[in-house]
Amino acid sequence: MSDAKHDISASFKNMQGCHVCLTLNKFIHSRCQSCGAKLHSRIKHSLQNTIALLITSVVLYIPANVLPIMYTNVLGQKTANTILGGVISLWQSGSYPIAIVIFVASVLVPIGKIIALFWLCIGVATSKIRSHEKSHQLYRMTEFIGRWSMVDVFVVAILVALIQMGNVMSIYPGAAVIAFGGMVVVTMIAAITFDSRLIWDPLNRE
Amino acid sequence: MAVDESLSHHSGKHPGAQQIIACHECDLLVSLPPLSVGHKASCPRCGYVLTRNFRDTKRKILAFSLTSLIFLIFSLPFPFLSFSAKGTERVLTLLESIQSVVSADYSSVAVLIFLTTVLIPGVFLLGVIYIFISLKSRVPLPYTQPILKFIFALLPWNMAEIFLVGILVSFIKIASLAKVALGPSFIFYTLFIVSLALTVTFLDRLQVWQWVRDGERKAMNENRNNGEQTNE
């Protein structure tokens, strides 16, 4: 903030960058003069949409954890597994590395991502962001890491595909797969909808 | 040579001139210096990589995207995974393994998997190949700009590499229950992911748009020149 003179955002100079081809346009244009894409200096209703999507993902996260993510059928004995139940049984059977991978990808990352995005939205809405750099890094991390939650959906799909031996041993998917997959997609859209430029906007007002 | 001069005049990019853009992630006004090969420009405020300049980018992208698409096609027909336990063996191709999620009555999940691991990366690669063939040819191919817009929107939804990790995790998970093996298709799929990652690394949004625009402008100028010649 010491060299605020050099920290000038495009919007402060009545300019806006095209989000498609990065060409700098004047504010008065509604379409990019170079590629014709619709221009928006900031994503419209970014915070509202992000928060709405985050609430959706919280709602989806409940059935994703309560309902079974898969059923295993061994010699006619059917057992239902939830995400957390699967992690615990993996841990008890001594497969610590996979237990940790699944726990991080399906529990820590989604929860961390939802909390981080809520935190950023609230910070921007109340203009109480202390470190712009750190907030931006947090955003970048949520955007990068969010897709990796999908690992659990893929694991269930592969197990279902491979283990089909009738009553000897079979694995079937549970309803939580849909809720969990939906949650991953919704949180990804939430991260895309969040406009990281809002983090830096308070600097322009000073 | 006259064409080249008018070109640089139109794009406002005289050799050595700086180009001003707004940072995609924090909106800072940045004047980009002309980059020498092997250099990248990052936003001084938020650190976002604005543009990179690799050696021979066009050729590399065309080569890697073609390689990647060929490997993706090769990963479809051969055995992908196999599983044997208690005297029964199950061999699956990539599409058969997605198919079995459909037969378990979870078509929505199967569609999500098919989209993120096969279709979206495939369409992305086709788009990249189309654009770079268009850049190589003397006359730009139609719809280059909308395709360019589309493929950058597709990029976050490619999850091929996550699928790969998912396969490895599930293999470790069931290794104690049965014998599992990876088929030739799996190797092709891994190679497809590696060359896809390389394609994405070399693909620079700012640079590609610059090339597409320059190509279209050049074609327009040539058309105009040809028209004048025939009039004479």
- Residue of B10, B95, B170, B204 to mutate, interface with A, max A Cβ within 10 Å: B170
Sheet holding B88-92, edge to edge: B88-92, B81-85, B179-182
In a shared domain, residues A22 and A69 = no
What letter represents residue B44's amino acid? P
Least confident of A55-64, A98-107, B61-70: A98-107
CA distance B150 to B78: 31
The answer, yes or no, to whether residue A108 has pLDDT greater than 80, is yes
B230 versus B196: the higher-pLDDT residue is B196
In a shared domain, residues B84 and B40 = no
In a shared domain, residues B13 and B42 = yes
Which residue's entry shows tokens 């949180």?
A: A187
Task: Find residue B81's DSSP bridge partners.
Answer: B92, B182
In a shared domain, residues A79 and A111 = yes
CA distance A189 to A205: 29
In a shared domain, residues A37 and A51 = no
Chain B: closest CA distance from residue A65 (Å): 17
The answer, yes or no, to whether residue B11 has pLDDT greater than 60, is no
Tokens of A167: 């009553």
CB contact under 8 A, B205 and A161: no
CB contact under 8 A, A150 and B145: no
In a shared domain, residues A108 and A149 = yes
Task: Find residue B63's DSSP bridge partners.
Answer: none
Average pLDDT on B75-99 reads 90
In a shared domain, residues B108 and B217 = yes
What letter represents residue B128's amino acid? V
B179 versus B122: the higher-pLDDT residue is B122
Q: Which helix (H) or strand (E) holds A198?
A: helix A197-200
User: Which domain range does residue B202 map to?
Assistant: 56-231
User: Which domain range does residue A6 map to?
Assistant: 1-41
The answer, yes or no, to whether residue B6 has pLDDT greater than 80, is no
In a shared domain, residues A91 and A137 = yes
In a shared domain, residues B94 and B163 = yes
Compare CB distances from B106 to A13, A173, A196 and report the shortest one's residue: A173
CA distance A141 to A163: 35
**A-chain residues near B90 (CB < 8 A):** 162, 164-165
Chain B: closest CA distance from residue A120 (Å): 14
CA distance B152 to A78: 45
**Residue A117 pLDDT class (50, 70, 90 cuts):** very high
Contact (Cβ atoms closer than 8 angstroms) between residue A83 and residue A180:
yes
Average pLDDT on B82-106 reads 89
In a shared domain, residues A97 and A27 = no
In a shared domain, residues B7 and B122 = no
In a shared domain, residues A21 and A52 = no
Beta strand pairing status for A70-74 and A169-173?
antiparallel
In a shared domain, residues B32 and B68 = no
In a shared domain, residues B30 and B135 = no
**Residue A6 pLDDT class (50, 70, 90 cuts):** low
In a shared domain, residues A3 and A100 = no
Chain A: closest CA distance from residue B11 (Å): 10
**At a CB cut-off of 8 Å and minimum separation 6, what does A77 contact?**
none
pLDDT at residue number B229:
67
CA B102 from centroid of its chain's CA atoms: 28
CA distance B131 to B136: 9
**Residue B160 pLDDT class (50, 70, 90 cuts):** very high
Q: Which of B30, B53, B76 is the last residue of a domain?
A: B53
Which residue's entry shows tokens 């497809």?
A: B192
Could you give the C-alpha distances from B147 to A58, B5, B90, B112, B132, in angstroms and in order?
A: 35, 29, 40, 22, 11
In a shared domain, residues B125 and B195 = yes
CA distance A153 to A103: 13
Taking only the tens place, the pLDDT of each residue in A190-200 is 999 999 999 98
CB contact under 8 A, B116 and A160: no
The answer, yes or no, to whether residue A111 has pLDDT greater than 50, is yes
**At a CB cut-off of 8 Å and minimum separation 6, what does A153 contact?**
A177, A180, A181, A184, B109, B112, B113, B166
Least confident of A140-149, A173-182, B62-71: A140-149
Taking only the tens place, the pLDDT of each residue in B123-137 is 999 999 999 999 988
**Residue A206 pLDDT class (50, 70, 90 cuts):** low
**Residue A65 pLDDT class (50, 70, 90 cuts):** very high
Tokens of B227: 């028209």
A26 touching B (Cβ < 8 Å): no
Compare CB distances from A164 to B29, B100, B109 and report the shortest one's residue: B100
In a shared domain, residues A142 and A182 = yes
- Residue of A162, A186, A194 to mutate, interface with B, max B Cβ within 10 Å: A162
Q: Which of B31, B53, B75 is the last residue of a domain?
A: B53
- DSSP label at B28? B
In a shared domain, residues B38 and B61 = no
CA angle B51, B56, B62 (to 5 degrees): 95
**Residue B226 pLDDT class (50, 70, 90 cuts):** confident
Average pLDDT, chain A: 89
CB contact under 8 A, A20 and B170: no
CA distance B194 to A167: 39
Q: Which of B53, B70, B97 is the last residue of a domain?
A: B53
In a shared domain, residues A88 and A13 = no
CA B152 from centroid of its chain's CA atoms: 8
In a shared domain, residues B94 and B43 = no
Nearest CA in chain B to A178: B109
Q: Per the structure, how many domains does chain A have?
A: 2
In a shared domain, residues B201 and B133 = yes
pLDDT at residue number A157:
94
In a shared domain, residues A82 and A10 = no
Average pLDDT, chain B: 86
In a shared domain, residues B171 and B115 = yes
**Residue B194 pLDDT class (50, 70, 90 cuts):** very high
Compare CB distances from A98 to B29, B47, B169 and report the shortest one's residue: B169
What percent of chain B stands above pLDDT 70?
91
In a shared domain, residues A78 and A132 = yes
Q: Per the structure, how many domains does chain B have?
A: 2
**A-chain residues near B85 (CB < 8 A):** 165, 169
Nearest CA in chain B to A87: B173
The answer, yes or no, to whether residue B139 has pLDDT greater than 50, is yes
Compare CB distances from A177 to B23, B106, B173 and report the shortest one's residue: B106
Least confident of A9-18, A21-30, A89-98, B12-21: B12-21
Average pLDDT on A46-61 reads 96
The answer, yes or no, to whether residue A146 has pLDDT greater than 60, is yes
The answer, yes or no, to whether residue B54 has pLDDT greater than 70, is yes
A2 versus A37: the higher-pLDDT residue is A37
Average pLDDT on B176-192 reads 91
The answer, yes or no, to whether residue B145 has pLDDT greater than 60, is yes
Contact (Cβ atoms closer than 8 angstroms) between residue B160 and residue B193:
yes
**At a CB cut-off of 8 Å and minimum separation 6, what does A134 contact?**
none
Compare CB distances from B21 to A24, A95, A133 and report the shortest one's residue: A24
The answer, yes or no, to whether residue B183 has pLDDT greater than 60, is yes
B225 versus A45: the higher-pLDDT residue is A45
Contact (Cβ atoms closer than 8 angstroms) between residue A175 and residue A68:
yes
The answer, yes or no, to whether residue B8 has pLDDT greater than 80, is no
CA distance B5 to B22: 26
The answer, yes or no, to whether residue B14 has pLDDT greater than 50, is no
CB contact under 8 A, A153 and B29: no
Query: Which long-range contacts link A73-76 to residues 24+ away (Cβ below 8 Å)?
Result: A73/A167, A73/A169, A73/A170, A73/A171, A73/A172, A74/A168, A74/A169, A75/A167, A75/A168, A75/A169, A76/A167
